[in-house]
Amino acid sequence: MKNVACRGLLSTAILGSFLLLLRRDARAQESTALDRVEPAPAGDPFLVAPSAGVEGTLRPAFAVLGTYALEPLRVRDEARERSRAVVEHQVGLHLLGSVSLFDRVLVGIDAPFYVLQSGEPVTELPESVAYAPPPSAAVGDLRLTARAELLEADGGLPAVGLGASLALPSGDEAGYASTGSVRFTPRALVSGDYGFLLWSTSVARTFEPERTAQANLVGDQIEVDLAVAGRIAWAQLGVEAHLAAEVGAPAASTTPAIRFEPLASARAYVEPVVFAIAGGPGIWNAPGTPTFRLLFEVGVAFDLLPEEPDGGESEQRRDGAVDGRAPSGAERTSTPAPSPGAGARRDRDGDDVPDAFDACPGLRGVRQLARESNGCPLVQAAPAPDPGVVVQAGQIVIKEEIRFESGSAVLLPESSVPLEAVRRALADDPTIARVGVDGHTDDRGDSRKNLELSRARALSVVRWLTEKGIDARRLEARGFGARQPLVENRDDAARAKNRRVEFIILRRDARGEPAWIDGTLPSEPEGRDKP
């Protein structure tokens, strides 16, 4: 409760500070830099929306972000009857770099270059300021960023941070790539990472020195970035949105000084490289808002001083090691490197799944939808080793019938053939964590006795399998009597089909043996007919 109260007070203070910034009355002028959607620092899980979390004691990240904007500057006359695209196409490259320090602080740099621009001059539209066409290439303003994580993510509680960026007038102002002045942007951030789901939001205020009215395009702004995405294994799909509104002096042009850009985004992790793409329309057409924007990023991040996993022998055994060896299909890493875009602070095994949501916190794995296997390594199911059995999605199908003595739960010798095929299928596929061994009878005789007989036969099969080495935790004996016939009990042949034992796969789990936590075997089967 104390931690929650501290978060509430800190969040209130941050929001109060930004409300004061909103009330600032100084008159701000607009600038000639069109590309005002600033990319998130290299290594963050989103392209546009920065994250509040900081991951890594000494973790550098690098990325190249390519951008394409269609008609980011279109000028209309006062009657809005004629228009012309001053900047019709703009292709840019952002060279991004960042480094995380002490799991608390991140500093970064963004060097933009516009490698292709095209458009038309504006000299003849009534009531319109004359605009020169853009040069074919231009250098943008260098941007420096810094961020501090004030409160780290804790279970379901999000991370809270403060940051700021400083844009230096190092670019080509005549090429619509620079403001010609320093821009300062403080920012408040809140984000959460739950392994399969992550989100981020931030509020910022951009301050610029006053400019002449002739140079007005975009001035002081309030900016809001939002993002949410779902992740599974190596893939991430989500949406991002950037909203900006001018504050201070009204715009010199008649174009509304509001910009909204929703983006659909996708990201793929191929250790240690990350690929990301996003695209979407621009709405409200304020200066710098394109008709359409496309972004593509290639990045890499790694730890120079990776953290050792916590815990000793007991921790390792709890996470799946047996006699000091990792389970089949998994590899324990003593000094793992987190994936690009790691969002939560506590991730001992470096698999980009926070420990609070990692079913195998000491074993490096992948994101999965099932909570019981999220963060565990993927184990491929082995093919059926015997032609007498077929392992399907939800059932182990045997080719030969399991036979018992008439009216009894005693297995006949010929039943060992199909039972051995089932045993091999279970032994070769540890991801089959729970199997229902279901006994069924026909409709002849007393229903209560049929139910007891079906349970006793299921327990006989379970006992046979456990005596042959199958862990009893994986097996659950169930009897249904005559309640679930395969066919109508109309004759002896139909009744013979209904007298059967089935093997239903109740649960699969990528962890293998660590997931075999259920199942008991009574010392004496209930209702068993003794031979």
8 Å CB contact between 35 and 72: yes
Burial status of residue 307 (CB atoms within 10 A of its CB: 0-12, 13-18, 19 or more): middle
| 45-52 average pLDDT score | 93
CATH 3.30.1330.60 fits 389-515, yes or no: yes
Q: What is the pLDDT of residue 125?
A: 59
Domain segments of the chain: what residues? 2-301, 309-337+346-378, 389-515
What is the reported pLDDT for 531? 34
pLDDT for 529: 39
CA distances for 468 relative to 212, 471, 472, 475, 477, angstroms: 87, 9, 11, 13, 16
Q: Residue 32's pLDDT band (boundaries 50, 70, 90)?
A: low
Nearest Cα neighbor of 477 from 503, 496, 495 is: 503
Instruction: Say what the pTM is.
Output: 0.56
Structure-model confidence comparison of residues 6 and 82, the more confident one = 82
Mean pLDDT confidence for 358-371: 75
What is the distance between the alpha carbons of residues 271 and 300, in angstroms, rounded to a whole number? Answer: 8
Look at the domain 2-301 and name its fold.
Porin (2.40.160)
Percent of the chain with pLDDT over 70: 74
- Between 322 and 188, the more confident residue is 188
To the nearest 10°, the Cα dihedral for 241, 247, 253, 259? Answer: 0
Range 54-83 average pLDDT: 82
Tell me: the pLDDT tens digits for 218-241?
Answer: 667 889 999 999 988 788 999 999
pLDDT, tens digit (0-9, with 9 covering 90-100), for 391-431 = 877 889 988 889 998 888 999 988 899 999 999 999 988 98
Q: Which residues contact 398 (CB under 8 A, 6 or more apart)?
A: 388, 389, 418, 421, 422, 503
Alpha carbon 166 to its chain's center: 30
Helix/strand/coil (H/E/C) assignment for every residue in 15-75: HHHHHHHHCCCCCCCCECCCCCCCCCCCCCCCCCCCCCCCCCCEEEEEEEEEEEEEEEEEE
